[in-house]
Structure 1
Amino acid sequence: MSSLFRSLSSRFRRSPREHSDSRQAEKIRVDTRRQANCKVLLLDGTDLNVIVPKSALASEVYDQVFYSLDLEERDYFGLQFTDHYHVHHWLDPMKKLVKQVPIGPPYTFRFRVKFYTSEPSNLKEELTRYQFFLQIKQDILSGRLPCSKEVGVELAAYALQSELGDYNPSEHNALFISQFRFHPEQDAQMEIDVLERFKLCRGQTPAQSEANYLSRAKWLELYGVDMHTVEGKDGNQYSLGLTPSGMLVFDGTEKIGLFFWEKIQKLDFKNRKITLVVEEDADQSVAFFCTLENIFQLHTFVFNLASHKACKHLWKCAIEHHTFFRLKTRSSVKHSRSQLFRLGSTFKYRGRTEYEAVHKDGARLSRRTTSTFERRPSQRFGPRQSHAVVNVLTEPENTSPTIEKPVEFSEPVEVTSVHLASKIPKYVLTSSCKVCYRLSSHYY
């Protein structure tokens, strides 16, 4: 099997995304009757072409991607695709490829972080941390991960140190910095602040800068939150965010509650409706007088989604988050199923848990020879015109610098969605919790 991967890896090398696919098509001959051509968009901006038999399980695609990247800590990552209704799905490695993906060939996948560890220091290998670093950069720039400008300046400085090395006054100025994109609300002042912060990162290696980046990013409020838009029976839109601790509930940008996994007694879906039955502890002042039967209350919440597929996707993601972060081993699923979840489907998360990934791989990875990999430069854009004007005005009179005609600075990236957190404030579900008053009265 490894020899097969090696031959395929050498045959279908990673290529920059800006190159035309037609040139690759000339080099790659695919027997469309027996083979499936897959295009995987990687986090560093390159593409990976993978060819598997049409009858193959999706695990063969995963194996080739991980082999090409030389990635050992695989449990945190997944391949994502989009259906005709613009619903994102995770490719299930235990099912046949062509049975899952409706669009193709070629079948297009996005290699992404699926489970965001709450403690990046648990990631053993530099390559794994680099992939997390690339993912979070994308999340912030796209607006999926909200980030203040102040924190964005610090993170951008670490990103520059990782890519450029130490600050060089003869090369690195605000005009140069403006060619990079860090934040959806990036402006000229932010770029000047990034430059000043960049100067303070001197001496950090790329690995150290990326580790510092992750250590700072993990404290962002919505770091790692898998957000899904839902509709309540009151007709208002809410957002359910999946986290290692449980399910967050948002009304717009206001966080109104957190359902801890251990408090969710039932999670089920039918058609476009997903139902949660959540246990609420009785008030401590009256708990002494309660019997075992009424020492807690149950609240039922029903939400609608845009389609049956979107509803099932949310339900499956919730099961996967619960299993990966809360359970120690997959064998715990059978015992916990009747106690925590009463599910209306036979779907099970087949991957390993975070506990297994951290504690069972440590010794093996520590013995592995350090892998070498190439850090690709990030995409650059035209410099900001205002910085070019400042440079001209501040040049000494005796010099006549040659400045290329600057390109207008592009508009900030429009924020269209919020992605996904693990450092979550512990909102205890009590009778005074906002989410109970705002939502539960509609759903009993």
Structure 2
Amino acid sequence: MSEILACQILILDGTTISQDVNKRAVGQVLLNLVYKHLGLDEKDYFGLMFTDDKSNVRWLDPLKLIRKQIKRGPYNFKFKVKLYPIQPTYLFEESTRYYMSLQIRENILQQRLPCSGDSFALLAGYIVQGEFGDSEVNDPGYLDEVPFLENVPNEIIAQVLELHKRNKGLSPAECDRKILDLSSRFTLYGLDFHDALDHAGIPILLGISGLGVSVFCGEMPQLTKLNHFPWVRVGSVNYRNKQLILEMLPIVGQTFEDSIIFMMPSKIACKETWKSCIEHHAFFRSIQPPKRPNRTNLFRRGSTFRYSGRTQLRLLQEGATNTLERKPSRRFERLSSRNRFSNRQSHARQTL
């Protein structure tokens, strides 16, 4: 039996990188290789997603053996944004903003981040400026090369053509900032969605973010927000079989249910949703992640899962220090979206 796990990771720019790790490696080993290859310092916003042998989409746990999470190959992963900053100004590194903006584009194209036609045109104007640079061209034919603008109405194309001219002088890095600033104002920005049922058995979506847990009904992209439970009101989050349980803290002068229960499609889906709650709360609300599970804390449950990365506060502190010390960003390669679907391979193979 081979001592090596040959892993393939699809990056947000459309390239695939290969990394070999020892079969006894935990998830963090592979994560570190990918972060190093991409030149990421603010790596805690990102993760590796995979589909298990039961077709469940999951995040790679950095503390567990890879082969325990994927029972048998192939070991294929997708590099994705896992945690979205509440304010894009919290990001200090150009490479972080670049990959974050690529994820925003993907979310919009897959209708997971709906926006108006005008907002779409504004985003496209920044994308085109970032890829082509300054332009005074009146013929929109060159926009056919941009995947983001496939099957877009002519009136939107006309808007993008004019916006591209107005964006003259903006660098690719400045365009990334503009994309993130605009998209952070969208209603569904930064939400990690999970299918669920309410107490009456009606299908709903739970959206987990740094602000708390939101409840939606309807189907993408037409969602209606029903409720929102900020973390400050959540006393604890538990799961039992297929039940996700939010235990709410009482508010003086108002009456609330002691527990709010959501039914998830499966036990695995329920646990993954619970994990998302743990990670979002720990990253956005904690000063530092817990060193070991505590049965008396916010997320008391028998599982040994815990958030092991840096918190947002820690990243902000480190970013401010690096800025004062004028630490330069690591160099990284930008790949035009026009080449994203060319299946280029990056042959950076390492063995640990």
Per the normalisation by structure 2, the TM-score is: 0.89
Aligned pairs (5 A) from 1:309-388: 309-331=268-290, 338=296, 340-364=298-322, 366-379=325-338
The root-mean-square deviation of aligned C-alpha atoms, in Å, is 2.2
Q: Does 1:72 align with 2:41?
A: yes
Identical amino acids, percent of aligned pairs: 35
Deviation at 1:347, TM superposition (A): 2.1
C-alpha distance 333-265 of structure 1, shift in aligned 2 (>3 A): farther
Q: Does 1:300 align with 2:259?
A: yes
Would you say the 8 A contact 2:48–2:59 is kept in 1?
yes
Would you say the 8 A contact 1:273–1:311 is kept in 2?
yes
C-alpha distance 333-192 of structure 1, shift in aligned 2 (>3 A): farther
Cα deviation 1:244-292 (Å, max 9, x = unaligned): 11100112211111111121123211221212222342437xxxxxxxx
The equivalent position to 2:65 in structure 1, one of 96, 101, 104, is: 96
- For residues 314 and 115 of structure 1, what CA distance do their matches in structure 2 show? 14
> Which residue identity lines up with residue 59 of structure 2 in the other structure?
W
**Structure 2 unaligned runs (5+)?**
341-352
Q: Does 1:176 align with 2:142?
A: yes
Q: Does 1:267 align with 2:267?
A: no
Deviation at 1:330, TM superposition (A): 1.7
The equivalent position to 2:160 in structure 1, one of 194, 201, 205, is: 194
- For residues 189 and 380 of structure 1, what CA distance do their matches in structure 2 show? 25
Structure 1 match to 2:169: 203
- For residues 80 and 72 of structure 2, what CA distance do their matches in structure 1 show? 19
Would you say the 8 A contact 1:179–1:380 is kept in 2?
no
C-alpha distance 184-279 of structure 1, shift in aligned 2 (>3 A): farther
- Between stretches 361-370 and 302-311, larger displacement belongs to 361-370
C-alpha distance 300-331 of structure 1, shift in aligned 2 (>3 A): closer
Aligned pairs (5 A) from 1:26-425: 33-105=2-74, 107-169=75-137, 173-182=139-148, 186-252=152-218, 253-283=223-253, 297-331=256-290, 338=296, 340-364=298-322, 366-379=325-338
- For residues 173 and 380 of structure 1, what CA distance do their matches in structure 2 show? 22
Moved over 4 A (4+): 331-335
> Which residue identity lines up with residue 83 of structure 2 in the other structure?
F
- For residues 101 and 86 of structure 1, what CA distance do their matches in structure 2 show? 11
> Which residue identity lines up with residue 348 of structure 1 in the other structure?
R
Would you say the 8 A contact 1:230–1:303 is kept in 2?
yes
> Which residue identity lines up with residue 202 of structure 1 in the other structure?
K
* SS of alignment partner, residue 315 of structure 1: helix
- Work out which of the two has the higher radius of gyration on C-alpha atoms and give 1 or 2: 1
Cα deviation 1:205-261 (Å, max 9, x = unaligned): 111111111111110111110011101231210111001111001122111111111
Equivalent residues, number: 335
> Which residue identity lines up with residue 203 of structure 2 in the other structure?
Q
Would you say the 8 A contact 2:21–2:29 is kept in 1?
yes
- Between stretches 33-42 and 84-93, larger displacement belongs to 84-93
> Which residue identity lines up with residue 91 of structure 2 in the other structure?
L
Deviation at 1:40, TM superposition (A): 0.4
